[in-house]
């Protein structure tokens, strides 16, 4: 069986690492061999957001490395579509495997569908019900095109059923939970990020901001950074790894130097996976507009405040581990002071989602 796996962004590297590991274990048993080749679109192309993930997690070196990380959504997706199609025509895989909801996901699905190559969508069925998000468009279209839809939660299965998609739908659990179990202890033993930043466990907050709905709107970012300034102190700073879009906002509005000089905010470059895991595990609180980081916060039992009005991971809110704050300063600070009852979530599986995916394939 020949599979071409298409990745392009940080969360996809992590998920692909777990499935690639499961493929290696499967092949070691001498059963029907799976030949996986990886196509990296270049959507995330700098060292800290791409190369270091492959190195740390032992992901096989990509067979193809594209350079499609710049331009508008349409330009990026179009460039990927052209190049992916060429590779699929030349190699004719049995399956194309895509992850999540990025432009790389949609381009891979479109190229495969037009060539009648079956599509496997890992992390299928998620919905924010906000079509202003490009990710929502990507995931809806990819699910419509896929032959096998591997869902991380039962709620994701219900979303697909409500849309009339039943064939090929499987609840397998979340490969990100597999990764949290696999790499959590490794991070504790190998990451030096706390000492490098001179911070202490449960005495800092971690913040990530990258979604265009925030970074492209000055009023939203102004209110978010006002909240960060008010909550950050020397004794409990806010650690903020700077996504390129967030850095672009700060430079565009001449805010970078003032934020760098703010005593309660620690700006750092994008992190390697293990360093990010370490910060997530030991933060007092996580503030984020990332879908994946919301879940990772729960996996490490760290309370989360989401800087959006909706989430694909409703179970994290219902269980008390996550709060939807949006972008307004007062609401973010109110959520920070809430005391919530929290319970465990039973939808993400037991850490063997990748093995289930390979078994079903």
- Predicted local distance difference test score (pLDDT) of residue 143: 98
- Residue 202: which pLDDT band, with cuts at 50, 70 and 90? very high
pLDDT band at 52 (very low <50, low <70, confident <90, very high): low
CATH classification of the domain holding 315: 3.40.50.2000
Q: How far apart are CA 333 and CA 232, in angstroms?
A: 11
* DSSP-H helix ranges across the chain: 10-28, 51-57, 73-91, 103-114, 134-145, 154-162, 175-190, 193-197, 212-215, 218-231, 244-252, 256-260, 273-282, 291-299, 314-318, 329-337, 353-360
* One domain for residues 166 and 195: no
CB neighbourhood size of 131 (10 A) = 9
Using a pLDDT cut of 90, give the percent of the chain over it.
84
Does residue 100 have a pLDDT over 80?
A: yes
Q: How far apart are CA 359 and CA 152, in angstroms?
A: 16
Task: Give the pLDDT band (50/70/90) at residue 45.
Answer: low
Residues 69 and 149 in one domain: yes
Statement to judge: residues 88 and 230 lie in one domain: no
- 358 lies in a domain? no
Other Cβ atoms within 10 Å of 185 Cβ, number = 11
Is position 210 annotated as part of the catalytic site?
Answer: yes
342: in domain: no
Q: Tell me which residue of 312, 338, 313, 310 sits closest to 324, measured CA to CA.
A: 310
pLDDT on residue 185: 85
- CA of 49: how far to CAs of 54, 98, 229, in Å? 10, 19, 26
State the Cα–Cα distance between residues 247 and 244, nearest whole angstrom: 5
The torsion angle over the Cα atoms of residues 110, 114, 118 and 122, rounded to 10 degrees, is 0
Residue 350 falls within a domain, yes or no? Answer: no
137 and 58 in one domain?
Answer: yes
344 occurs within a structural domain: no
In a domain, 180, yes or no: no
**What is the mean predicted confidence (pLDDT) over 41-45?**
77
- Which pLDDT score is estimated for 53? 60
250 is a domain residue: yes
Tell me, yes or no, whether 165 and 193 share the same domain: no
Q: What is the distance between the alpha carbons of residues 256 and 143, in angstroms, rounded to a whole number?
A: 40
Q: What's residue 46's pLDDT?
A: 55
pLDDT band at 23 (very low <50, low <70, confident <90, very high): very high
Residue 289's alpha-carbon distances to 131, 159, 218, 243, in angstroms, are 16, 22, 16, 12
Identify whether residues 113 and 204 lie together within a single domain. Answer: no
Both 22 and 167 in one domain: the answer is yes
Query: Chain-wide mean pLDDT for the chain?
Result: 93
155-173: pLDDT as tens digits: 999 999 999 999 999 999 9
Domain boundary among 101, 136, 171: 171
16: tokens are: 């692909």
For the ranges 43-47, 186-190, 294-298, the maximum mean pLDDT occurs at 294-298
Q: What is the count of structural domains for the chain?
A: 2
Q: Above 90 in pLDDT, residue 43?
A: no
Q: Are residues 199 and 129 in the same domain?
A: no
Residues 18 and 133 in one domain: yes
Residue 176 domain flag: no
Question: What is the per-residue pLDDT for 273?
Answer: 85
Which residues have C-beta within 8 Å of that of residue 358, sequence separation ≥ 6?
19, 22, 23, 26, 34
Catalytic residue, candidates 44, 210, 243, 300: 210
Same domain, 199 and 263: yes
Query: Within a 10 A sphere around the Cβ of 269, how many other Cβ atoms?
Result: 11
Model confidence at 30: pLDDT above 90: no
**Same domain flag for 152 and 287:** no
- What's the whole-number mean pLDDT along residues 346-356? 95
Give the per-residue pLDDT at 240: 97
253 pLDDT tier (thresholds 50, 70, 90): very high
Q: How far does CA 339 lie from the centroid of its chain?
A: 27
Over residues 228-248, the pLDDT tens digits come to 999 999 999 999 999 999 999
Residue 49 reports pLDDT greater than 50: no
Please tell me whether residues 206 and 165 are part of one structural domain: no
Q: What is the per-residue pLDDT for 57?
A: 72
Domain that holds residue 100: 2-171
Q: Is residue 35 part of a domain?
A: yes
Most confident residue range from 52-61, 64-73, 279-288: 279-288
Radius of gyration of the chain (CA): 20
| Overall average pLDDT of the 6-16 stretch | 90
Q: What is the pTM of this model?
A: 0.88
Range scoring the smallest mean pLDDT among 12-26, 45-59, 139-153: 45-59
């Amino acid at each position: 069986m020949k599979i071409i796996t298409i990745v392009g962004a940080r969360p996809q590297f992590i998920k692909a690492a777990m499935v690639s590991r499961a493929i290696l274990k499967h092949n070691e048993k001498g059963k029907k061999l799976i030949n996986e080749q990886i196509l990296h679109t270049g959507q995330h192309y700098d060292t800290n957001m791409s190369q270091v993930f492959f190195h740390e997690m032992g992901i096989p070196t990509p067979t193809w490395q594209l350079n499609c990380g710049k331009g508008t959504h349409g330009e990026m997706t179009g460039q990927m579509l052209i190049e992916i199609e060429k590779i699929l025509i030349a190699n004719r895989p049995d399956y194309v495997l895509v992850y999540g909801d990025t432009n790389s996901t949609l381009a891979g699905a479109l190229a495969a569908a037009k060539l009648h190559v079956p599509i496997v969508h890992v992390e299928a069925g998620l919905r924010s019900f906000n079509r202003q998000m490009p990710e929502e468009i990507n995931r809806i279209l990819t699910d419509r095109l896929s032959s096998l839809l591997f869902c991380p939660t039962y709620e994701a299965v219900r979303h697909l059923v409500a849309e009339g998609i039943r064939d090929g739908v499987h609840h397998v659990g979340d490969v990100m939970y597999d990764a949290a179990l696999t790499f959590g202890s490794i991070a504790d033993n190998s990451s030096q990020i706390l000492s490098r930043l001179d911070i202490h466990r449960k005495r800092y907050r971690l913040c990530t901001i990258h979604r265009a709905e925030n970074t492209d709107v000055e009023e939203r970012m102004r209110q978010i950074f006002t909240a960060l300034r008010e909550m950050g102190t020397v004794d409990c700073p806010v650690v903020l790894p700077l996504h390129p879009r967030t850095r672009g906002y700060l430079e565009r509005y001449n805010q970078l130097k003032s934020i760098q000089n703010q005593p309660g905010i620690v700006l750092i470059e994008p992190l390697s996976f293990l360093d990010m895991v370490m910060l997530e595990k030991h933060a007092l609180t996580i503030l984020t507009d990332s879908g994946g980081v919301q879940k990772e916060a729960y996996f490490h039992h760290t309370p989360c405040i989401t800087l959006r009005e909706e989430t694909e991971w409703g179970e994290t809110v219902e269980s008390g581990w996550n709060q939807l704050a949006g972008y307004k300063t007062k609401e973010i600070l109110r959520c920070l002071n809430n005391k919530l009852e929290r319970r465990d979530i039973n939808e993400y599986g037991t850490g063997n989602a990748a093995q289930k995916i390979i078994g079903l394939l």
